[in-house]
A = this chain, B = another copy of it.
Amino acid sequence: MADNNGTTGTGAAGFSFELRKTDATGARLGRVETPHGGFDTPMFMPVGTRGTVKGLTPEDLKAIGAGIILSNTYHLYLRPGHTLVRDLGGLHKFMGWDRPILTDSGGFQVFSLGALRKIDEHGVSFSSHLDGSRHVLTPESAIEIQEALGADIIMNFDECTPYPASRQYTIDSMHLTHRWAARCKEAKKRPDQALFGIIQGGMFPDLRRESAEAIIEIGFDGYALGGLSVGEEKPLMHEMIASSAVHLPSERPRYLMGVGTPEDMVFAIESGIDMFDCVMPTRNARNGTLFTSRGKLVIKNARYERDERPLDESCLCYTCANFSRAYLRHLYMSGEILSARLNTLHNLHYYLSLMKEARKAIGEGSFDRFKKGFHEARRAVQA
């Protein structure tokens, strides 16, 4: 159906996107509203794979400014099961998070299973990584599971084209994704969830364009770029982001899936991307790698053994306000739970603050200056 945004969405109730400003660079400032409240864009979504952002409470997430989190359909489907989550009132209630949630479709995870899965027109059959039991995910069941979980934004079930892939494989895979996209939209029943389409097309700019046009033609509430950060070189990824984003309608939110580093995000914001998710800040935190305004810091390094400074002297997070590198190194070396928690708080605060600063710069029309400052702080350290 057509709506007042000029393009065809799914008519999701309570969902809207307002594009507030486009900077001269192409960076966009926007606002997404959902049934569980809104958030400003560009926005990074912390990943809460199994119904929890590892180590953090909902209050922690609010304290660092998280406006929306992502959770994984594949994991919740296997454990505790989507019907259990539905019967207990949905994922928001289950995990105690009353702000927006986005769920992925499970597609990316089942494709990551490699030899354990098999694709055909119908869907993907796979073995659980937990107990080896056999399961099938289809466009219809992926939507059904996501409707049971009850996120505010749900995603199409697509094939994440691997890298490298031949042109012919990429074309066939893309067409499958398009057919599945139509089935996802058809399967959708809940009126209170927005459904995002996913653009594939591998590393071929013309296929990216073709995919964007096909997905837009079907019509979704937002558009995502899939199949990136799958092993390709950075310049190639950046080229694909830029060449894909230009084909997306300006009046819908644009989501770059699974990307990336702070540098990747700054690049993508300039290409007009509005939403991000990535396990990097949370996973790196648990591995003791911290993001700072001057680049990465590996906390186990012996040089921090007696270092009384915070991780980042310009950071305002709880971790930096209260604990030294020496203490954080001690916690990490001792395998303490608090290590993962304090590091995760810091890394997510860094990511969310980067988004906040980017939004401020776009609002002031100074994103270009912001970007230069961001890169200069890093070069100064490397020099």
Contact of A308 with B by CB under 8 A: yes
Partner of A84, one of B55, B57, B89, B305: B305
Query: B residues within 8 A CB of A51?
Result: 327, 330-331
A94-B327, A305-B80 given as contacts; is B88 within 8 A of A54 (CB)?
no
Q: Tell me the nearest residue of chain B to A93, going by C-beta.
A: B324
- A338 and B308 within 8 A (CB): no
Does A116 make an interface contact (CB < 8 A)? no
Given A80-B326, A94-B326, check contact A88 B306 (CB 8 Å).
Answer: yes
What residues of chain B lie closer than 8 Å to A88, measured between beta carbons?
A: 306, 308, 324, 326-327
Q: Is the CB of A52 within 8 A of B336?
A: yes
Q: Are A56 and B94 in contact (CB under 8 A)?
A: no
Bound form: Cα–Cα A57–B308 in Å: 18
Contact A327 B79 (CB under 8 A): no
Q: Does A333 contact B (CB under 8 A)?
A: yes
Contact assessment for B334 and A337 in the assembled complex, using a CB-CB cutoff below 8 Å: no
Least CB separation from A307: chain B residue: B88
Interface residues of A in 42-101 (CB under 8 A from B): 50-52, 54-58, 79-80, 84, 87-89, 94-96
Copies of this chain in its oligomeric complex: 2
* Other-chain residue from B54, B94, B327, B329 in contact with A324 (beta carbon distance below 8 A): B94
With a CB–CB cut-off of 8 A, which chain B residues contact A79?
330, 333-334
Residues in A283-307 with C-beta less than 8 Å from chain B: 305-306
The answer on a CB contact under 8 Å between B306 and A84 is yes
CB–CB B326/A96 < 8 A:
no
A168 within 8 A of B: no
Q: How far is the CA of A89 from the CA of B306 in the complex (A)?
A: 11
Pair B87/A56 contact, Cβ less than 8 Å? no
Residues of chain B within 8 A (CB-CB) of A52 are 331, 336, 338
CB A349 to nearest CB in B, in angstroms, measures 14
Q: For the complex, give the distance between the alpha carbons of A323 and B96 in Å.
A: 7
A382 at the interface (CB under 8 A from B): no
Whether a CB of chain B sits under 8 angstroms from the CB of A340 is yes
How far does the alpha carbon of A54 sit from the alpha carbon of B336 in the complex, in Å?
7
A133 contacts the other chain (Cβ, under 8 Å)?
no
- Measured between beta carbons, the chain B residues less than 8 angstroms from A337 are 54-55, 337, 340-341
Tell me the smallest distance from the CB of A287 to a CB of chain B, in Å: 14
Q: Are B338 and A55 in contact (CB under 8 A)?
A: yes
Complex A-B: 15 CB contacts under 8 Å: A51-B327, A51-B331, A56-B338, A57-B318, A57-B322, A79-B333, A79-B334, A80-B329, A84-B326, A88-B306, A88-B324, A88-B326, A89-B308, A94-B324, A94-B327
- Chain A positions within 8 Å of B, measured between CB atoms, are 50-52, 54-58, 79-80, 84, 87-89, 94-96, 305-306, 308, 318, 322-324, 326-327, 329-331, 333-334, 336-338, 340-342
7 tightest A-B CB contacts, nearest first? A55-B337, A80-B330, A96-B322, A52-B338, A50-B334, A54-B337, A52-B336
Known: A79-B330, A79-B333, A88-B306. 6 other contacts (CB 8 A): A50-B336, A51-B327, A57-B318, A80-B305, A80-B333, A84-B326
